[in-house]
Amino acid sequence: MRILMVLTYYHPHWTGLTAYAKRLAEGLARRGHAVTVLTSRHIPTLPREEEIAGVRVVRLPVHGRLSRGVLMPSFPAALWRLARGADLIQMHTPLLEAPLVTFVGRRWTIPTVFTHHGDLVMPGGALNRLIETSVTSLMTQALRAATRVTVHSCDYAESSRFLRPFLHKLDCIYPPAEIPAPEKASVARWRRELGLEGRPVAGFAGRWVEEKGFDYLLRAIPHVLAELPRAHFVYAGEEPSYERFGQRCRPLLEPVRKHVTMLGLLTDPQRLADFYGMCDAFVLPSRTDCFPSTQIEAILCGTPLVSANIPGAREVVRVTGMGLHVPPGDPEGLARGIVRVLADRDAFVQPPEGVRSIFDAARSTADYEALFTRLSTPAAGTA
């Protein structure tokens, strides 16, 4: 098949969404399909076109930014040109241009798959509410016109007001997660360098934005320390430029700062695996989260979860038993969960073979390949 994949950011940009798209694109390319990615040239020094692991990447100049999105005036012409040679179009959302993608797909009678990575949830403020409403409206138009919709879990889709009207054309496919095993010697050395030998360690990771709920975790830390005074927290990630939630969390961070180590953004796969391996528990205190890839990476590295019991994010613990759920938005309840896992970590660890049999990148790629093949056959048509 000739597959055109459309998304705002691609490698070397680093988020769960872009890692997902990159793994899928390269997995399909390894299976013999011709994959082209149409994306933004979010760093001006990046090549306008290159091949990465068998995937053709076409990047368009950015002429402005709107919160998390970018403005690409050349996008319509490039999409029109590239779509003419495609058998199927897949777009990863949120995407400002989503309605245009489905329009072009219908114009060229090409099946279009809308891959949803989570409802757009913006922080408070009139401008952000306007952006959220406008982009959600655009994506709803695209949902109506898309041939099929894929999402990471049916649990999230059935709980989403955005997706619920389109369940009749929905496919649930787990993300294609890949991460190496932690290196025990490196983990031990890193713990020693950080002064964490013999101490219970809880990790958290991701963009420091409001939807991730890190303020709940900061409020929970004093309650954890009251039960486990030697506990320590390590964070992998960074504060994005489009949101200032980290600044609002400063008053919560300062009283517990000596108990929190900031590692910055980790992009090397082995270093990231060693981060998870260093942690006795991995914490997801999210307000909303479709299916954070960090939770799959953590359990693949043998680290149990303490996860907010919210749609999508609760899926991994539900299907593996590797961790526990805590009430969302409840710092004291979150603290109790962290203490329980840190105090009895081994009770929540499952055999790695079982975990990998559920979350297998090759299986996810094969599921997408089967869907794309079915849609791109002449009899499939468009919705």
Residue 2 tokens read as: 């000739």
Per-residue pLDDT tens over the stretch 10-19: 999 988 899 9
**What is the percent of the chain with per-residue pLDDT over 70, rounded to a whole number?**
95
For the cut 70, the answer to whether the pLDDT of residue 214 exceeds it is yes
Across the chain, mean pLDDT equals: 92
Q: What are phi and psi of 98, to 5 degrees?
A: -55, -45
What is the DSSP pairing of strand 88-93 with strand 69-70? unpaired
- What Å distances lie between residue 227 and 38, 201, 221, 318, 325, CA to CA? 51, 14, 10, 27, 19
Quote the CA–CA distance of 175 and 184 in Å, as a whole number.
Answer: 27
pLDDT band at 374 (very low <50, low <70, confident <90, very high): very high
Residue entry with tokens 């932690």: 182
Quote the CA–CA distance of 287 and 306 in Å, as a whole number.
Answer: 14
Per-residue pLDDT tens over the stretch 264-309: 999 999 999 999 999 999 999 999 888 888 999 999 999 999 999 9
pLDDT band at 382 (very low <50, low <70, confident <90, very high): very low
Taking alpha carbons only, the member of 195, 188, 342 closest to residue 258 is 195
pLDDT band at 381 (very low <50, low <70, confident <90, very high): very low
Question: What pLDDT shows up at residue 106?
Answer: 94
Exposed / middle / buried, residue 164 (Cβ in 10 Å: 0-12, 13-18, 19+): exposed
pLDDT band at 198 (very low <50, low <70, confident <90, very high): very high
For the cut 60, the answer to whether the pLDDT of residue 192 exceeds it is yes
Per-residue pLDDT tens over the stretch 220-246: 999 999 999 999 999 999 887 667 788
Q: Which amino acid is at 27?
A: G
Neighbour count for residue 124 (Cβ, 10 Å): 7
N-terminal to C-terminal alpha carbon distance within the chain = 19
**What is the percent of the chain with per-residue pLDDT over 90, rounded to a whole number?**
78
Rg of the chain taking only CA atoms, in angstroms: 21
Question: What pLDDT shows up at residue 121?
Answer: 67
More confident residue, 14 or 218: 218
pLDDT band at 383 (very low <50, low <70, confident <90, very high): very low
**What is residue 112's three-state secondary structure?**
strand
Can you state the percent helix, strand and coil of the chain, rounding each to 5? Answer: 45, 20, 35
Please list the residues that pair with 92 across neighbouring strands. 115
- pTM of the predicted protein model: 0.89
Quote the CA–CA distance of 17 and 174 in Å, as a whole number.
Answer: 13
Q: Over range 33-54, report the average pLDDT.
A: 97
Dmax over CA atoms of the chain, in Å, equals: 64
Q: What is the DSSP-derived secondary structure letter of residue 164?
A: G
28, 369 Cβ separation under 8 angstroms: yes
pLDDT band at 177 (very low <50, low <70, confident <90, very high): confident
Question: What pLDDT shows up at residue 66?
Answer: 75
More confident residue, 66 or 110: 110
